[in-house]
Structure 1
């Protein structure tokens, strides 16, 4: 019984850092919702007769995540290991922190592009035309998606290493479940933040 209590305590001690990852997930959750809606209102033409579907922009997050994971594992970790002496190259705290920082840059990039899109819509009198196409290339969204891909790769690696390393052996499956719970809560939090923004800005017209 005492052993079980100690295991539970060790799991509870991980919760503060686990909870920190929820904000990073919330930051990237809009790439799968509002960023796609923004893409629908932007110029998506590759040729005069062909335009890409807005949801395909997510491929830039997937690609950068895959490339980042490969570079991290095959290039960065071996180099960092020589200087730090750690098998993992850097600590999971540093890895998660780097992921959070890059995710913040992704949010900043998204905000700058949204300001550009809104300004272009205002200049062309399209603010009250939700179905209109704003004359701004959809590929302005690529930095936002790419940065979130890099941030997700770093934060995910650090988060999983932290949960697996710090949890008791008998509770590692529960620790892995916490990772997915954080993902769910992060997406719900992203939705709540959007709803709050919409309500608070309703008096000044539609936000998106």
Structure 2
């Protein structure tokens, strides 16, 4: 496939930034979206140009690092995936693809497509944990009976990987879906229920900070 990529380029947090056009050819439909960007960056480096900065890590849909706004949609046109799981078969030959970073005040751009998502980390630090006495007398978690329904709901909440798509998509850039998931994954289980009230107050307070 031959494509035209319109990519947000921004040197640093203070730079105004702009969209830059990059033609790319011979793109295989079997490539992942990030592999396609790898090919583009190789071409740019070979020409002595600055490669496009973008976040990535596991490339397996687990870490939530590869967060891109593609053609006006978080993670692109596919559903229930992250950017690294998006494949080029979702696009057609001759397409123009707009690639931008998350657009939210809480996620300032560091460079190009890389944003600072430490706001999520601050929310987690405020209460996304269970205080445990690890002096040797801690009760075995398996000794606490938990219904399958509660365990399933807690697991569904824990499936949130903190990619930030909810914030980037929301017109108000609200992190409530993220906070709700992180609060629920503990509150639904007996181990986390003890600190449930304190946890939600602290995390919501940090979210609103």
TM-score by length of 2: 0.25
TM-score by length of 1: 0.26
Structure whose residues are more often strand by fraction: 2
